[in-house]
Amino acid sequence: MRIVLLTNNRLPPREGIGHHVTALARALAARGHAVRLVAAGTGRDFVEDELDGLPLLRYPRRGPRPFHHAAVRRALESRLRAEVADADLLHVHLPLLPPLDLPVPVAVTVHTPLLADTAAPRESRLEGVASRLYARLLARRYEIFWLRRAGRIFAVSSRVAAELVRDYPLPRPPVVLPNGVDADVFPWPPPARREPVVLYVGRLGPRKGLLRLLRAFALLGRPGLRLVLLGEGPLRSRLEAEAARLGLGRRVVLAGFADRRTVARALARCRVFVLPSTYEGMPLALLEAMAAGAPVVTTPACRLPEFGTDPPFLVAEDGEPHALARALATLLDSPDRARELVRRARTLVETRFTWARVAEVLEATLASPPRAAA
């Protein structure tokens, strides 16, 4: 098949959706498909490029955020008419892509429905209100356009699939197509000795629960332990101020954006990986920690059916600082339990969450007749 993958993320990727799109593109190309990437750029013009041997078109960003998606709509639609002229499929990755009238069959993957995403607790009440208004007044219209247009609808988890059924008019039921992991990037078995580090990897954004994580780390004590945050995002200055207020000083390291090799090395060396999110679709960072052999503490936002009734990580039941601190202490003080969780996590990744397996599910779904909604 000739497949065009479209995302509003920038490539090379700097966050989860971008990593999903590029890794899926590589897996599909490895299976003999002709794949082309279309992604957001940083300038005001279209730019032809290449990524991992795959053709890449960067489209311009125009207008003020968050309305730059609407501002680029006409130009993007006009340019993509030529790009998809000989394509068998346009695979659109939501959220935040404007409606485009294009003469090509469409599949849609929804990573986070914005109605559910913005309903999650926010670190800032004002930002939460603004996000929910944007989701209801504009973004939902975009999502509905693409969902109605799609011959196939994919969701990255059964939770996201249920949210789509609940909140959107769907022409057909969604199929779960999760994130994946390139397990070969993460050496196995993991090293026996690990550094005294609690590690977070991901965006420094409102729904990641990072201010609560800082308070949990302060409650945990243990002066020989460091908290390292790998990532970038709008909360950086607030996190720095909160760490200073809590008297954590140099024990909290905001290390900024890290490439895949640096992330893999950090996951292999940390004592515990923590993901304190208030909402997740299917967290790639969690899957990578599981692949790397890092014991994981997370919140109910990551207790997804895809991980089974007894998930291979520790869940801080309410995600609040005291619960996070207790869960971190449990894994730090229970090496046998940590090793058992790590073993189960790697087995689950290898059997269910490789990119080759994800591409196989996508192929099989595209080859079968679509079902109408009930």
Note whether 166 and 54 are same-domain residues: yes
C-beta atoms surrounding 266 within 10 Å:
22
The residue range of the domain holding 257 is 183-352
Q: What are phi and psi of 106, to 5 degrees?
A: -125, 135
Let me know if residue 372 belongs to a domain: no
C-beta atoms surrounding 242 within 10 Å:
20
Let me know if residue 241 belongs to a domain: yes
**Encoding tokens for residue 12?**
């090379």
Question: Can you give the pLDDT at residue 66?
Answer: 65
Question: Can you give the pLDDT at residue 124?
Answer: 66
Question: Can you give the pLDDT at residue 71?
Answer: 82
Note whether 47 and 146 are same-domain residues: yes
Note whether 94 and 199 are same-domain residues: no
Note whether 82 and 119 are same-domain residues: yes
Let me know if residue 136 belongs to a domain: yes
Note whether 130 and 196 are same-domain residues: no
CB 219 within 8 A of CB 213: no
Tell me the pLDDT tens digit for each residue of 247-261: 998 999 999 999 989
Note whether 302 and 361 are same-domain residues: no
For the chain, 374 residues long, the average pLDDT of each consecutive 10-residue run is 96 93 97 97 92 96 72 92 94 94 96 88 70 81 95 97 95 95 88 92 93 97 96 95 95 95 94 96 96 96 95 93 97 95 96 95 90 64
From CA 6, how far away is CA 9, in angstroms rounded? Answer: 9
In a 3-state reduction of DSSP, which class is residue 2? strand
Note whether 27 and 105 are same-domain residues: yes
Question: Can you give the pLDDT at residue 112?
Answer: 93
Note whether 189 and 270 are same-domain residues: yes
Let me know if residue 374 belongs to a domain: no
Note whether 246 and 318 are same-domain residues: yes
Question: Can you give the pLDDT at residue 42?
Answer: 86
Note whether 156 and 187 are same-domain residues: no
CATH classification of the domain holding 236: 3.40.50.2000
- Nearest Cα residue to 38 out of 71, 14, 5, 65: 5
Residues 6+ apart with CB under 8 A from 131: 118, 122, 206
Let me know if residue 373 belongs to a domain: no
Let me know if residue 238 belongs to a domain: yes
Let me know if residue 170 belongs to a domain: yes
In the chain, how many domains are there? Answer: 2
DSSP sequence for 279-292: --SS-HHHHHHHHH
**Structure pTM?**
0.93
Let me know if residue 128 belongs to a domain: yes
Note whether 163 and 38 are same-domain residues: yes
> How far apart, in Å, are the Cα atoms of 354 and each of 24, 175, 288?
10, 17, 11
Note whether 191 and 260 are same-domain residues: yes
Question: Can you give the pLDDT at residue 68?
Answer: 73
> How far apart, in Å, are the Cα atoms of 250 and each of 62, 76, 254, 321?
39, 46, 10, 20
The alpha helices in 10-157, defined as continuous H runs, are: 16-30, 68-71, 73-83, 114-119, 125-134, 140-149
